[in-house]
């Protein structure tokens, strides 16, 4: 039952340490000297079709094998169509990327979940769903939203294609230690306020560059009260605050989620794993390099008005006036954003009409997200002229939702029920906004043109997405309650 | 990877902050499966505008890009670096870079020189007063010079050494192959493996 101290853990060390420091220490292959980085072992490498072709190409050119195919897994997600998935992919470049991944997986002996497979889906939904994402491990992927996996107490971060090649070849990465920042979220969320609103508020508070160089550790009673799906939503968007990673210490919620999943430890391994996982939480008295406090009781449904995820306010507010922003760069960015978004300062956010609602992406496409969305729209019809797309994060989530009848609720509402993938989160497949179209989106990026050239994105929670789809204007479930009252 | 010590060439003043990687190279170009041929993709949306600075004949053949703060934020796409390299840039100057972008740059032989914001302003002014004036970036001395102006830049020692030596990452790490194998020999049985493929337990939530 007693877990041996993992690699690199010095049990005699007295200094209190953070979760991030512990995971780092347990993966140290070689300590860097004279300013060289540490060499860190990677437990899990997730691969998808967009950032891997050149990495495999590099291996081939250098005649190098994949060192640990058994720690590597690939899925198709960014380019995959969400309709007619049994037909050949129409777009030739999308098809090429996917075919290239299939060839590479075969050549290098990598497990791949292709379109049509029950485990296919967004890479950040698939890892946790298979039980591969576990506390205390290191996870990388050529995708910035790898931070999602930190919800389990893993150290998980996005890497570039040359690092993908590096991990394929060596199962390690040379890295400099990150600084640590505690994000303390204390209190209780009001009904209608979700994990998405917490993270949008965090980013609005610290800015899109505020987390740079840091691993964020989300702590406090409001975080502990969240489900794993909610924690993943929060960690997912850590990168939007500029951070390398986000983490939540594992607890009973984490273990309950993992137990019984295909690749979670089983039998005696499960007990050993838990014994170790229990040691991971940040020690009492450990010091963070920075700290931020958020009052959960005060949070309201949040929405972005601009073109970066830090440009957000409570839904009950108005579009801010750039003239009121002191920092000259932020002011200029706000002016540019309002022009792009075609919004006037002072407009109440609730007066903003949308053309589309996108419910999906690795931020909010898990079963709980779909349940939350469905709970609001159940028995209702979408607003006229609003296109509503619901895209589950994985084929398995889709099946699960259908087993619960959520697809029926969604279709009766007038929304499109699609197959799994990244879809309109970045519009690499045909799911795109037309120029000038405005969308309430549960995804994580409202950058210019992200969801289609000229498209305008407001980031929202699944609950806000649902209420907005009903009313046709940016709305939260609170507004629906008011609608119901006869005045 | 080629060694870099000094770069001298035309510099483009890009007076924009928060230039994220979606602006550097839009997602539609990520579909390619090769490592080269991205020069046309660089700042694709902005280049449709004839007034965009990269379209100014005075700045053709540029090797140095001088950007506002928070350059290269957003998505981890390394294509952003390839596109800059393919276009001909050897150096990007900014007062702050996205972390992943900076990491990617060092590995592709693109020098990401961090210059204090006031100094960026000064360089912009000189370059705008005389478009096409050569700018010299000296990696040995860690300085940027243009006309009579010389300012320092920051780059971490390790990346600097790598750029100076033109060293490939993987080869460097594989010199520690024994340590890696040693580490692997202690890896606990309960840590996850993707192979062999396992099915969920009967009682599992999925
Ligand atoms: S859903 Fe969006 S953010 Fe997530 S991995 Fe896919 S493209 Fe990236």
The predicted pLDDT at position B202 comes to 53
Select from A320, A312, A315 the least CA-distant residue to A345.
Answer: A320
pLDDT, tens digit (0-9, with 9 covering 90-100), for A279-296: 999 999 999 999 999 999
d(CA B115, CA B66) in angstroms, rounded, equals 10
Which residue of A260, A332, A453 is in closest CB contact with B200?
A260
Average pLDDT over residues A253-263: 97
Answer yes or no: are the C-beta atoms of A193 and A297 closer than 8 Å.
no
CA A296, chain centre distance (Å)? 20
d(CA B147, CA A462) in angstroms, rounded, equals 55
- Put simply, whether B76 touches A (Cβ < 8 Å) is yes
**Terminal CA-to-CA distance of chain A, rounded, Å?**
64
* Model confidence at B37: pLDDT above 90: no
At residue B98 the predicted structure's pLDDT band, cuts being 50, 70 and 90, is: very high
Question: Which contiguous run of DSSP H or E holds residue A96?
Answer: helix A92-108
Do the chains contact at B100 and A3, CB–CB below 8 Å? Answer: no
The predicted pLDDT at position A88 comes to 83
Other CB atoms within 10 A of residue A235 CB: 31
- Put simply, whether A293 touches B (Cβ < 8 Å) is no
- Put simply, whether A428 touches B (Cβ < 8 Å) is yes
**What DSSP string describes A286-331?**
PPPSEEEEEEGGG---EEE-SSSTT-EEETTSBPPPGGG--SHHHH
Answer yes or no: are the C-beta atoms of B149 and B120 closer than 8 Å.
no
d(CA A22, CA A279) in angstroms, rounded, equals 9
**B22 chain-A contacts, CB cut-off 8 A:** 445, 447-450
A-contacting residues in B 112-171 (Cβ below 8 Å): 156-158, 169-170
Do the chains contact at B200 and A165, CB–CB below 8 Å? Answer: no
Other CB atoms within 10 A of residue A116 CB: 12
Do the chains contact at A263 and B31, CB–CB below 8 Å? Answer: no
CA of A390 to the centre of ligand 1 (A): 15
Q: Residue for token digits 């590096």? A: A166
d(CA B154, CA B142) in angstroms, rounded, equals 7
Pocket test for ligand 1, best of A358, A426, A446 (most atoms within 8 A of CB): A426
Q: Residue for token digits 């690499």? A: A428
Q: At what angle do helices A53-62 and A161-170 cross, to 10 degrees?
A: 50
Q: Residue for token digits 């483009």? A: B12
Instruction: Let me know if domain A19-293 sits in CATH 3.40.50.720.
Output: no
Do the chains contact at B17 and A332, CB–CB below 8 Å? Answer: yes
d(CA A388, CA A212) in angstroms, rounded, equals 35
CA A76, chain centre distance (Å)? 17
Which residue of A132, A208, A329 is in closest CB contact with B192?
A132
* Binding-site residue ranges of A for [4Fe-4S] cluster: 362, 422, 425
Answer yes or no: are the C-beta atoms of A450 and A441 closer than 8 Å.
no
Report phi then psi at A442, rounded to 5: -85, 10
d(CA B64, CA A181) in angstroms, rounded, equals 34
The predicted pLDDT at position A85 comes to 81
User: For residue A286, what are its two tokens?
Assistant: 């450990």
Handedness of CA A127, A130, A136, A138 (dihedral sign): negative
At residue A3 the predicted structure's pLDDT band, cuts being 50, 70 and 90, is: very low
User: For residue A253, what are its two tokens?
Assistant: 């919620």
Percent of chain B scoring above 90 in pLDDT: 73
Do the chains contact at A51 and B77, CB–CB below 8 Å? Answer: yes
Q: How far is CA A335 from CA A242, B82, B131, in A?
A: 22, 30, 28
* Binding-site residue ranges of A: 362, 422, 425
Q: Which fold has domain B6-165?
A: Aconitase; domain 4 (3.20.19)
d(CA A283, CA A296) in angstroms, rounded, equals 24
Select from A52, A56, A30 the least CA-distant residue to A41.
Answer: A30
Do the chains contact at B194 and A270, CB–CB below 8 Å? Answer: no
CA of A10 to the centre of ligand 1 (A): 37
Q: Where are the domains of chain A?
A: 19-293, 304-483
A209 DSSP 8-state letter:
T
Answer yes or no: are the C-beta atoms of A104 and A67 closer than 8 Å.
no
User: For residue A361, what are its two tokens?
Assistant: 């992406």
B138 DSSP 8-state letter:
E
pLDDT, tens digit (0-9, with 9 covering 90-100), for A73-128: 999 999 888 988 888 888 888 899 999 999 999 999 999 999 999 999 999 999 99
Percent of chain A scoring above 90 in pLDDT: 87
Q: Residue for token digits 């600084």? A: A179
Chain B: residue whose CA lies nearest to A260: B204
**What DSSP string describes A396-409?**
HHHHHHHHTTHHHH
Strand partners, B65: B12, B92
Do the chains contact at A160 and B76, CB–CB below 8 Å? Answer: yes
Report phi then psi at A425, rounded to 5: -60, -40
Helix/strand/coil for B171: helix
- Put simply, whether B30 touches A (Cβ < 8 Å) is yes
Chain A: residue whose CA lies nearest to B17: A329
**A57 chain-B contacts, CB cut-off 8 A:** 33-35
Strands B134-138 and B143-146: what pairing? antiparallel
Burial class (CB in 10 A: 0-12, 13-18, 19+), A385: exposed
d(CA A444, CA A426) in angstroms, rounded, equals 10
d(CA A278, CA A17) in angstroms, rounded, equals 14
Which residue of A6, A51, A447 is in closest CB contact with B74?
A447
At residue B205 the predicted structure's pLDDT band, cuts being 50, 70 and 90, is: very low
* Model confidence at A255: pLDDT above 80: yes
* Model confidence at A484: pLDDT above 70: no
Helix/strand/coil for A338: helix
pLDDT, tens digit (0-9, with 9 covering 90-100), for A124-177: 999 999 999 999 999 999 999 999 999 999 999 999 888 999 999 999 999 999
User: For residue B75, which atom of ligand 1 is closest to its CA?
Assistant: 8
pLDDT, tens digit (0-9, with 9 covering 90-100), for A318-376: 999 999 999 998 999 999 999 999 999 999 999 999 999 999 999 999 999 999 999 99
Distance from CA of B48 to the nearest CA of A (A): 13
- Put simply, whether A372 touches B (Cβ < 8 Å) is no
Pocket test for ligand 1, best of A443, A451, A459 (most atoms within 8 A of CB): A443
Do the chains contact at B179 and A51, CB–CB below 8 Å? Answer: no
B-contacting residues in A 22-41 (Cβ below 8 Å): 29-30, 35-37, 39, 41
Pocket test for ligand 1, best of A422, A429, A444 (most atoms within 8 A of CB): A422
Q: How far is CA A197 from CA A204, A254, A300, A480, B85, in A?
A: 10, 21, 7, 18, 39
d(CA A59, CA A38) in angstroms, rounded, equals 23
- Put simply, whether B206 touches A (Cβ < 8 Å) is yes
**B185 chain-A contacts, CB cut-off 8 A:** none
Instruction: Let me know if domain A304-483 sits in CATH 3.60.150.10.
Output: no
Average pLDDT over residues A381-402: 97
d(CA B31, CA A54) in angstroms, rounded, equals 11
**Terminal CA-to-CA distance of chain B, rounded, Å?**
47
CA A1, chain centre distance (Å)? 34
Q: Residue for token digits 């939904």? A: A125
Average pLDDT over residues A195-217: 96
Average pLDDT, chain A: 94
**What DSSP string describes A223-261?**
HHTS-HHHHHHHHHGGGGGT-SEEE----HHHHHHHTT-
CA of A427 to the centre of ligand 1 (A): 10
Question: Which contiguous run of DSSP H or E holds residue A174?
Answer: strand A172-175
Largest CA distance in chain B: 74
pLDDT, tens digit (0-9, with 9 covering 90-100), for B115-147: 999 999 999 999 999 999 999 999 999 999 999
- Put simply, whether A429 touches B (Cβ < 8 Å) is no
d(CA A390, CA A375) in angstroms, rounded, equals 14
The predicted pLDDT at position A7 comes to 53
Q: How far is CA A86 from CA A83, A445, A452, B15, in A?
A: 9, 29, 25, 47
Ligand 1-lining residues (CB < 6 angstroms) = A 77-78, 122, 124, 143, 145, 361-362, 422, 425-426, 443-444
d(CA A76, CA A98) in angstroms, rounded, equals 7
d(CA B171, CA B177) in angstroms, rounded, equals 10
B-contacting residues in A 53-112 (Cβ below 8 Å): 53-54, 57-58, 62, 64, 69-73, 78-79, 91, 93-94, 96-97, 100, 111
pLDDT, tens digit (0-9, with 9 covering 90-100), for B134-191: 999 999 999 999 999 999 999 999 899 989 988 878 988 998 999 999 999 999 999 9
Handedness of CA A441, A447, A452, A456 (dihedral sign): positive
Do the chains contact at B107 and A7, CB–CB below 8 Å? Answer: no
d(CA A163, CA A159) in angstroms, rounded, equals 6
């Amino acid at each position: 039952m007693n877990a041996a101290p993992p690699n690199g853990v010095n049990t005699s060390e007295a200094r209190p340490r953070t979760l991030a420091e512990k995971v780092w220490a347990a993966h140290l292959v070689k300590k860097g000297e004279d300013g060289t980085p540490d060499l860190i072992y990677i437990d899990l490498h997730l691969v998808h079709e967009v950032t891997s072709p050149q990495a495999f190409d590099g291996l081939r050119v250098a005649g190098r094998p994949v060192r640990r195919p058994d720690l590597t897994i690939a899925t198709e997600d960014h380019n995959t169509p969400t309709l007619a998935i049994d037909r050949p992919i129409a777009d030739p470049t999308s098809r090429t990327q996917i075919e290239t991944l299939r060839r590479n997986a075969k050549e290098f002996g990598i497990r791949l979940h292709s379109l049509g497979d029950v485990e296919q889906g967004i890479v950040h939904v698939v890892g946790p769903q298979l039980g591969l994402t576990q506390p205390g491990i290191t996870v990388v992927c050529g995708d910035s939203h790898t931070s999602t996996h930190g919800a389990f107490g893993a150290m998980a971060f996005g890497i570039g294609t040359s690092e993908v090649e590096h991990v394929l070849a060596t199962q390690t990465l040379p890295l400099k230690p990150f600084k640590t920042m505690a994000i303390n979220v204390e209190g209780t969320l009001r009904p209608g306020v979700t994990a998405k609103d917490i993270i949008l508020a965090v980013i609005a508070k610290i800015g899109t560059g505020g987390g740079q160089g840091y691993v964020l550790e989300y702590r406090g009673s409001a975080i502990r009260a969240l489900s794993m799906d909610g924690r993943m939503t929060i960690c997912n968007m850590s990168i939007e605050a500029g951070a390398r990673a986000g983490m939540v210490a594992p607890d009973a919620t984490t273990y309950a989620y993992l137990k019984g999943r295909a690749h979670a430890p089983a039998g005696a391994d499960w007990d050993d794993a838990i014994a170790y996982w229990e040691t991971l939480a940040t020690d009492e008295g450990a010091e963070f390099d920075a700290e931020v406090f958020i009052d959960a009781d005060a949070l309201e449904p949040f929405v972005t008005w601009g073109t970066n995820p830090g440009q957000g306010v409570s839904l009950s507010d108005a579009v801010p006036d750039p003239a009121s922003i002191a920092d000259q760069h932020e002011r200029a960015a706000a002016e540019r954003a309002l022009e792009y978004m075609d919004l006037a300062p002072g407009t109440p956010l609730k007066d903003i009409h949308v053309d589309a609602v996108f419910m999906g992406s690795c931020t909010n496409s898990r079963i709980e997200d779909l349940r939350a969305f469905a709970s609001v729209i159940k028995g209702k019809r979408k607003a006229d002229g609003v296109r509503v797309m619901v895209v589950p994060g994985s084929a398995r989530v889709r099946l699960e939702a259908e087993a619960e009848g959520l697809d029926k609720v969604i279709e009766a509402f007038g929304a499109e029920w699609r197959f799994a993938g990244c879809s309109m989160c970045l519009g690499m497949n045909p799911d795109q906004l037309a120029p000038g179209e405005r969308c309430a989106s549960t995804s994580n990026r409202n950058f210019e043109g992200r969801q289609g050239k000229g498209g305008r994105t407001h980031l929202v929670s699944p609950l806000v997405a649902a209420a907005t789809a009903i009313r046709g204007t940016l709305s939260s479930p609170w507004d629906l309650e008011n609608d119901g009252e006869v005045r | 990877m080629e060694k870099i010590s000094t770069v001298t060439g035309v510099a483009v003043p890009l007076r924009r902050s928060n230039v994220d990687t979606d602006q550097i190279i839009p997602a539609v170009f990520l579909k390619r499966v090769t490592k080269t041929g991205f020069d046309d993709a660089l700042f694709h949306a902005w280049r449709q505008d004839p007034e965009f600075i990269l379209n100014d004949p005075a700045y053709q053949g540029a090797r140095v890009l001088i950007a506002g703060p928070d350059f290269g934020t957003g998505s981890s796409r390394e294509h952003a670096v390839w596109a800059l390299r393919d276009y001909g840039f050897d150096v990007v100057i900014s007062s702050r870079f996205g972390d992943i972008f900076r990491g990617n740059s060092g590995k592709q032989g693109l020098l990401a020189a961090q210059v204090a914001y006031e100094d960026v302003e000064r360089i912009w002014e000189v370059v705008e007063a005389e478009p096409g004036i050569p700018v010299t970036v000296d990696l040995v001395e860690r300085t940027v010079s243009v006309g009579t102006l010389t300012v320092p830049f920051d780059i971490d020692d390790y990346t600097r050494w790598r750029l100076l030596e033109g060293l490939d990452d993987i080869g460097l790490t594989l010199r520690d192959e024994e340590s890696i194998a040693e580490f692997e020999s202690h890896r606990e049985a309960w840590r996850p493996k993707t192979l062999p493929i396992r099915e969920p337990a009967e009682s599992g939530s999925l």
